[in-house]
Amino acid sequence: MKKVFCVLTMILTAGLFSACSNVSDEELTKAHEAVKNGALIVDVRTPAEFRGKHIEGAINLPVEEIMQGHIKKLPKNKVLVVYCRTGNRSSTSAKILTQEGWKVYDVATQSDWERKIKN
């Protein structure tokens, strides 16, 4: 258990201090297609942030809960699309969820999700 906590702490720390990368149009297109095919959108921000504004159809599962292993409510047979406010928490969440066996698209932010994709 101590080893898992250490690994999760390192992932969160790396996520907090790394620069957010822009999501490519290709990855964003794949994420939108995944949602059309039944993927679950997961907002990893706080409940207060989620109440303020969120992507339609998204569920709220804060990164802190993901880090504590509270992921059993996520269906294993679903692809996940994660996002947050800046991309840091979604990056951390995507790493953890991928390690736990989910196929995950990290779209970083709601703004990225909603942006126009260049054809």
Asked whether the beta carbons of 107 and 39 are under 8 A apart, the reply is no
Sorted by sequence, the CB contacts under 8 Å of residue 113 that are 6+ apart come out as: 28, 31, 55, 81, 83, 107
Q: Tell how strand 59-60 and strand 80-84 pair up.
A: unpaired
Tokens of 83: 């996002």
Q: Shortest CA distance to 72 belongs to which of 45, 100, 94?
A: 100
In the set 58, 81, 84, 108, the catalytic residue is: 84
Tokens of 94: 């995507």
Assess whether 84 carries a catalytic annotation: yes
- Residues marked active site are found at 84
